[in-house]
Chain A
Amino acid sequence: MLEILSNPNVQWVLFGTTALGIAGGVLGSFALLRRQSLISDAMSHAALPGICIAFLIVGEKMMGALLVGAGLTAYLGTYCIQAIAYYTRLKTDAAIGLVLSVFFGIGIVLLTFINNLPIGGQAGLNEFIFGQAAAMTSSDVRVISSVALVLVIITILLFKELKLLIFDREFARGIGLPTTVLNGLLMTMIVAAVVIGLQAVGVVLMVAMLIAPAITARYWTDRLDVMVILSGVFGAISGILGTVTSAPISGMPTGPIIIVAACIVFFVSLIVAPKKGLVVKAYRLQQLRKQTAREQILQSLYELVEEHYQASGSLTDFAREEIRALRPLSERRFRKTLNGLERSGKIDAKEEGYALTTSGRETAHNVTLNNRYMQMYAMHEARFANLQMEKRNWDFLSLPEEERERLHALLQEHQLEPRLMQGGRL
């Protein structure tokens, strides 16, 4: 591995793929947030005929000319998508699919046409389809990394304006920003980020170089600036991983490996990211289920005790079947929750069944009270809309005294106030 890395050719290639990974990640964030990820797919496919036309005009594989050609047809493709979606009743996704495949078809025709021409120098054009990073010369890398650098600098300089543009275009126009110009600029920058990746990643898979790092970054943060930076970093990592892995295998196209690397980084983030990752989400759901089960059992027991106390004036214990009948739970969860409540000293196991302890009675009282407030709130939602309970995590007990009194008055009206404890005493 180290042997490969010390090869100056490989170092150049690595430098190039890192640069285009950064640019792709940074601009990809904007494309993703504007929901234009599939348009960038069409852009990269539409670049193929441009590369071929540029080659036909220049007569040799000059990176700068090929990139300009690629950029022009990519831009034309984007324009066609907008024109089709604007002038006809076809939806944008149909327009994207149409432009993508037809431009690619034209590209393939030109490519096969060029390959059959009796001239030299056309070898290697095919590599633009799936990318061949190893084919990059040091001058190619220079062109690619300077474009990448310019893109990153423009993004930094115009960060505030671009941010406004993608999140609230109307507002941006309202405060006098030239939104049409900015929009055109952003589009051009995305096109540029796509075309500099074509040699290493290829037209078919370039879109993933924009989306995958950006959507990965989206899982780690809610801030645009952090997202853009992270996305650039993820892009660079994918570029490096892909190049290093594919370099020793002869004939292996680089693009697919880079994309698989980028997607693996995404899948890992999807699972382990803090806050939004699937593991954290599953854990939170589990906790919520446990808590709900606890509260259900406490409230059921409370209601049984309450009823018995009012009828006879004494406390007693209740069999587990009676408790479970009120609010059905699965047998396993019911058993585990009962054990947990017993361990934390909220309930006592007697021969006949279970009874609330003193501290259990207080907890159960609060749970029941809160749930009955909830009932009142749901019945008279319009009257309590000012409380915004969804922001208070539905905790009615933390409400100011006067609001609670309004709810409590309703409870009394419906004869639902919890009667086991009043004023904190039994």
Chain B
Amino acid sequence: MSYTFWILLTASLVGVSCGIIGVLLILRKLAMLSDAISHTVLLGIISAFLITQSLDGWTMFIGAAIVGLLTTVFVQMLHSAGVQSDAAIGIVFTFLFAIGVILVSMYAGNVHIDVEHSIMGDIAFIPWETVNWFGIEGIPQAVWMLGIVLVIDVILLFLFYKEFKVSTFDPELAAAIGLPVGVLHYLLMGMTSLTAVASFDAVGAILVVAMLIAPGATAYLLTERLSMMFVLSAVFGVLAAFSGYYIAAWLDASIAGMMATMAGVIFLLAFVFSPTHGLIAKRLLQNRIKYEV
């Protein structure tokens, strides 16, 4: 397995797992909450390290999941204490993220994550950080983590597809027919934290937001079917990963940054050229209506 192969595999796994979660985040208007969670994952990772003194994948998962859920709960608490919701999100995530950055800078000497790593990941080093999990040698830890999270995400989505669908498009109906709307919300937030922490080594805590939101937003402009949106979003995620890697290699710039940029470029293309929701299509439709009138 070559070096490039592992990087492309990691980047594509990030694209797919973020892409499918992103669909639900976009439709449920949770984009900014997921932005907050992916920032605070940093605090989860560094606290898990400080407590256990190891950078084992499992402790990072647990730490990040706890802090991710705490973020949601804190935002909810501030909101019910009378703080408007956008400000509640803004305060909670900056506070937790700031603490995370302070801790990382204080212990930078002892940890392999440094401040730079936390904002743009370290995908170029991933192929060398292999672990021996389940008796299999030679697979990078990030690939393991992303693979496991992807499997968990896909299983949960298959199991609760109908529930997620109803509670996304008609929360009142979902509550009325007795679906556990709150549980589904926290489940999705938990899945978001896990995906963010698995992607952390590859793209860092901030650029993961682009991978979470941009492919889903692009797919939203191209289809009217939820199942199709999942597929398209995953495809765009992988597309951003591949194009990002090759352009970054050519420019000698950050791979993660370029993946985010390409996710934005793909969105821009859909924004202009989408046959149903694009600028051009809309302009043409307007002209036709004018002409007919």
Contacts from A to B (Cβ < 8 Å)? 32, 35-38, 41, 45, 84, 87-91, 93-94, 96-98, 100-113, 116, 126, 129-130, 204-205, 207-208, 211-212, 214-215, 249, 251-253, 255-257, 259-260, 263, 266, 270, 276, 278
Contact = CB atoms under 8 A, between A and B. Distances in A.
B263 A94 contact: no
A91 B220 CA distance: 11
Contact of B102 (A93, A94, A252): A252
Contacts, number: 186
Q: Which 4 A-B pairs have the closest CB atoms?
A: A105-B260, A102-B264, A108-B257, A101-B210
A37 B26 contact: no
Interface stretch (B64-72, B92-100, B167-175): B92-100
A101 B217 contact: no
Name, among B31, B78, B99, the residue most crowded by chain A CB atoms within 10 Å (CB to CB): B31
A256 B99 CA distance: 7
Contact of A211 (B90, B102, B207, B263): B90
A260 B98 contact: yes
B248 A37 contact: no
The binding surface of chain A is classed by DSSP as helix
B256 interface: yes
A198 to B, nearest CB: 15
A252 B105 contact: yes
A273 B214 CA distance: 41
B215 to A, nearest CB: 10
27 contacts: A38-B32, A87-B271, A89-B221, A93-B31, A96-B32, A97-B212, A98-B31, A100-B209, A101-B207, A102-B264, A104-B206, A105-B263, A106-B261, A107-B257, A108-B119, A109-B248, A204-B206, A205-B97, A207-B90, A208-B95, A208-B98, A215-B91, A251-B108, A255-B101, A259-B94, A260-B98, A263-B91
Contacts of B217: 90, 94, 98
B171 to A, nearest CB: 15
Interface stretch (B55-63, B79-87, B127-135, B148-156): B79-87
A208 B252 contact: no
B95 A112 contact: no
Nearest to A258: B98
Contacts of A88: 220-221, 271, 277
A318 B86 CA distance: 55
B91 A211 contact: yes
Given A94-B29, A207-B94, A211-B94, 15 more contacts: A32-B87, A35-B86, A36-B86, A84-B271, A90-B217, A102-B214, A103-B264, A105-B210, A105-B263, A106-B261, A130-B101, A215-B83, A256-B101, A256-B105, A270-B81
Contact of A255 (B98, B106, B258): B98
B82 A276 contact: yes
Contact of A109 (B30, B209, B253): B253
A90 B277 CA distance: 10
A208 B253 contact: no
Nearest to B214: A98
A278 B212 CA distance: 36
Interface in B210-249: 210, 212-214, 217, 220-221, 248
B6 to A, nearest CB: 20
Contacts of A105: 207, 210, 256-261, 263-264
B90 A89 contact: no
A259 B97 CA distance: 10
Interface residues of B, number: 60
B264 A106 contact: yes
Given A97-B209, A102-B210, A102-B263, A112 B254 contact: yes
B34 interface: yes
A97 B87 contact: no
B139 to A, nearest CB: 27
Contact of B282 (A87, A111, A205, A266): A87
A129 B282 CA distance: 39
Contact of B115 (A102, A109, A130, A207): A130
Given A97-B209, A101-B214, A106-B257, A113 B32 contact: no
A41 B90 contact: yes
A112 B255 CA distance: 10
A35 B90 CA distance: 11
B201 interface: no
A37 B90 CA distance: 7
Interface string B250-276: 011110111111011001000100000
Nearest to A106: B261
A94 B31 contact: yes
B120 interface: yes
A117 to B, nearest CB: 9
Nearest to B39: A204
Interface in B168-206: 206
A96 B120 CA distance: 20
